[in-house]
Amino acid sequence: MKAPLNIALVGNPNSGKSSLFNALTGLNQKVSNFPGVTVDKKTGSARISPTLEANIIDLPGTYSLYPKSADEFVTYDVLLNPEGDDRPDMVIIIADASNLKRNLLFCSQIIDLKFPVIIGLTMMDLAKKKGIEVDLAGLERELGVPVVAVNPRKNKGLPALKKNIELIAREKFAGPARDFIDINALAPGVLAKVKKAFAVSSDYGALHTAVNFEELEFLGPQRQAEVRRILQEERFNKTKVQGDEIMQRYARIKTIMNGTVVETDPLQQQLKTERIDNLLLHRFWGYVILLGVLFLLFQSIFWIASYPMDLIDAGFGSLSGWFSSILPDNKVSDIFINGILAGLGGIAVFVPQIMILFGLITILEDTGYMARISFLTDRLMRQVGLNGKSVMPLISGVACAVPAIMAARNIENRKERLITIMITPLMSCSARLPIYTIMIALVIPDKSVLGIFSLQGLVMMGLYLGGFFMAILVAAVMKLFVKVREKSYFIMELPVYRAPRWKNVGTTMVEKAKIFVTDAGKVIMVISIILWFLASYGPSGNMEAVHAKYEQLQAQTTDSLQLADIDHQFQSDKLANSYAGILGHAIEPAVKPLGFDWKIGIALITSFAAREVFVGTMATLYSVGDADENDATLKQKMASATRVDGTPVYTLATGLSLMVFYAFAMQCMSTLAIVKRETKSWKYPVIQLVYMTALAYICSLIVFNIFK
């Protein structure tokens, strides 16, 4: 059986590359309508024909073969490294027909690397609206490689693309016959020596080995030293050679376009996208609309999700009560009801909000509005040492900090990238949503402001905006301490506005819910079972004393009300003397100034594995501690919780203090791990953990003392 082909998908950001990857592989990959979404290579398998299978590699978008950012170096390494595992047998270049001149620069560079190449021309419908007509046969003739019009969003042009892949495969991967420009004339001595020393297959590959040898790790120190020696011998002027190359490419591209592309008068009527941008990117109204969009986003999370959440919550409460009535009273039943079922309830109740949040974010991405948010916030970002590109990781952080930190790879400036990584976890991720939801429901009245706005939704929006503005404040401080001096540029292509792909929205909602239930659910379930054990057992001396005390009290009365009260006290004392109770009381002095009791203290520790574990911890602790109220919902149990002096645990001050703590605290091991990976040092995650914990504690202390 023949090994599958390795086919690399490359192209400018936002050219439709990831959409084509989905169409070819059938995988449910995330496709977003803004530049920089692909921050690492993704791979999937595709059946090209009954006898031909291929590995499709989706590489990060880049504007040219001279990389500027970490994600562009991923593409560069795959294409230049002859020894790499992902070395492509063939390259499909995705080019935007509505911006053909800019796209052809990158196409011409790939052609000169001498890979077998197919150009997939996308956005033909948009080009037509702009009055651009492309002669595909003429373009194919001029470039010397196959050119196929494709529309991945509508699965058009895929059969023709696969046919061309199959034809190239049969011809044993023949590369382009001629160079796009005369590469050898740029530096003949250098190219000859590099090709001889390293067996580079193309003149252009030799040129890039000479230009970027210090960045090409696969060369190794010895071969890098050899290239350096060659360059010194030949007095190689890197800047002049690069400048000459780009000028020659654009001169040839201009000639090709004059013969193959027909454009109408450039003073034609403005397109719909430009007219919409005049409003959405307005110096004043643009920001008003942005705040309105965010406001509707968080209002919708409460408004739409409240009904299914109440049904799920009540359903698990009834289910727990039903199992309590039919199962025998033993340890197996106890761990099932108060450990497993309580943990499941803590997970399932927040699925509607997770789905709605990701669904709305996907709509914003699909329509093209997310990229406009970067543009609008660039001025604010520059005041604190960042630029508009930092906004995309921050917005992604609303979903999850881990991929958001990885998305910072497309920031070229090292200082801006480091600061972005350090502040991104301050954005309230979806894992914090369950905590916000249950605390807002407990301490914030369900009433309207001005008759139409939900007070609970306003508080939710305040928490998210609080995280954003705290991130901006911390960035301004870090700007003074991070000593890296590089010029910073913000160049972003604004995608055209499109109607959201509702299938993509639905798929994303289902996939994110599945990830939350499976990935977070596994952690929550394991911790729930461990907590059940810690809350049900304790040192033998302590537990024997509690049992003896309450057996004596029960023997002294036959009154059913008194017996019920004694049993409630017994469950409470048993929990306090368990291993979990002992641990909680040990850390209570540290969290008491914030208004937290020992149960909340335990949740702070367990939720360091994942923030959403807080709810599962509460579900287990209150289920074990209130074994006679199995049919009550978690919200009802927490609402009735009292301290030793009889005062309620969850007051307005405690609730706000807890939400502020989680808004600013680093409560996620995975985030620390990814920061270490991206910065290649433990110094930065340690700094992050310390400053965020201190920030959360101080802000929480201030809020509690203001509202208590």
* pLDDT tens readout for residues 649-677: 889 999 999 999 999 998 777 788 778 87
As a whole number, mean pLDDT of residues 161-189 equals 82
- In this prediction, residue 426 has a pLDDT band, given cuts at 50, 70 and 90, of very high
As a whole number, mean pLDDT of residues 626-642 equals 68
| pLDDT greater than 80 at residue 521 | no
Name the strand (E) or helix (H) holding 47: strand 42-49
Residue that has been written with the tokens 């409630």 in this structure = 568
Beta carbons within 10 angstroms of residue 82's beta carbon: 11
Q: What percentage of the chain's residues is helix, strand, coil (to nearest 5)?
A: 65, 5, 25
- List Cβ neighbours of 572 (8 Å cut-off, separation of 6 or more): 625
Rounded-to-integer distance, Cα 330 and Cα 323, Å: 12
As a whole number, mean pLDDT of residues 680-686 equals 88
CB distance 576 to 601 below 8 Å: no
As a whole number, mean pLDDT of residues 595-617 equals 79
As a whole number, mean pLDDT of residues 475-487 equals 75
- List Cβ neighbours of 370 (8 Å cut-off, separation of 6 or more): 32, 33, 34, 364, 392, 395
For the question of whether the overall pTM of this predicted structure is more than 0.85, the answer is no
Q: What percent of the chain has pLDDT over 70?
A: 87
| pLDDT greater than 80 at residue 554 | no
As a whole number, mean pLDDT of residues 629-643 equals 72
**Which pLDDT belongs to residue 524?**
66
**Which pLDDT belongs to residue 172?**
54
**Which pLDDT belongs to residue 520?**
61
| pLDDT greater than 50 at residue 268 | no
Tell me the three state secondary structure of residue 397.
coil
- List Cβ neighbours of 646 (8 Å cut-off, separation of 6 or more): none
| pLDDT greater than 70 at residue 360 | yes
| pLDDT greater than 50 at residue 47 | yes
As a whole number, mean pLDDT of residues 48-69 equals 84
Q: Where are the beta strands (DSSP E) in 529-656?
A: none
CB distance 366 to 505 below 8 Å: yes
As a whole number, mean pLDDT of residues 600-618 equals 77
- In this prediction, residue 492 has a pLDDT band, given cuts at 50, 70 and 90, of low
CB distance 402 to 670 below 8 Å: yes
Q: What percent of the chain has pLDDT over 90?
A: 13
- In this prediction, residue 302 has a pLDDT band, given cuts at 50, 70 and 90, of low
| pLDDT greater than 50 at residue 7 | yes
| pLDDT greater than 60 at residue 266 | no
**Which pLDDT belongs to residue 700?**
95
**Which pLDDT belongs to residue 474?**
92
132-134/147-149 β-pairing: unpaired
As a whole number, mean pLDDT of residues 441-453 equals 80
What structural domains and CATH numbers belong to the chain?
Answer: 5-170 (3.40.50.300), 184-263 (no CATH), 519-707 (no CATH)
Strand partners, 642: 648
| pLDDT greater than 50 at residue 586 | yes
Q: What is the mean pLDDT of the chain?
A: 80
Angle between helices 238-260 and 100-112 (to 10 degrees): 120
Among left, alpha and beta (phi > 0; psi -120 to 50; other), residue 445 is beta
- In this prediction, residue 126 has a pLDDT band, given cuts at 50, 70 and 90, of confident
